[in-house]
Homo-oligomer: A and B are copies of this chain.
Amino acid sequence: MTTLLLAFDLIGTFVFALSGGTLAVRQRLDLFGVLVLSCAAAVSGGIVRDVLIGAHPPASLADWRYLVTAMAAGLVTFRWHGLIERLRNPVQLFDAAGLALFAVLGTGKALAFGLSPFAAMLLGMVTGIGGGIARDVLVARTPVVLQAELYAVAALAGGGVVALASALHLPQHPAMVAGALACFGLRWMALRHGWRLPVARPRE
């Protein structure tokens, strides 16, 4: 079970890192910039969560496998970015899976550190979307997750299931599976059907 979780966690890290590397290549950053954006996209969410709950040092610094995985994804993107861009659909699939896993595991870790279910749900969302925000801020553009198709809402839904189960004293493992499925399903449906949140109309 733990091995399975670690495998998913590293797959999520790899796919998030691909998104950072791809953006860096498009922005014509050099090899180092590609590696930094890969790592930033992959581990920033978890680092922010760990800093906020007081987990020192953050998991992705304590275990070298996360950063090495992220750097490997960066190197892959640097060399075969054309291929990665063509694989957009499978990458989005893995990205949705990574988002679901990060949101659910992030919520679980925050609960384990004694935060309230409400705060834990928000920290699960931060774990899922923080990397994408850091990636976009580093190239000075408004984060896509603040605009895109139910991306953060899906993360919130996944963490919300886990947080609700904790508040109701239900068993945690089934709740995490249900939360991950909810997040993945919502994100996937939003992608396929173009579901979006409403946008306010500024004054003329």
Q: Which residues from chain A sit less than 8 Å from chain B, CB to CB?
A: 24-34, 36-37, 47, 51-54, 56-58, 61-62, 64, 67, 77-79, 81-82, 85, 113, 115-116, 118-119, 122-123, 133, 137-143, 146-147, 152-153, 196-200, 202-203
Contacts and interface: CB of A to CB of B under 8 A. Distances in A.
Contacts of A123: 61
A25 B64 contact: no
Contacts of A85: 203
Describe A's contact surface by its main secondary structure.
helix
7 contacts: A29-B147, A31-B198, A32-B152, A51-B51, A54-B57, A139-B142, A140-B140
A81 B198 CA distance: 14
A152 B51 contact: no
Q: Most chain-B CB neighbours within 10 Å: which of A54, A78, A122, A133? A: A54
Nearest to A39: B122
A75 to B, nearest CB: 11
A178 B24 CA distance: 32
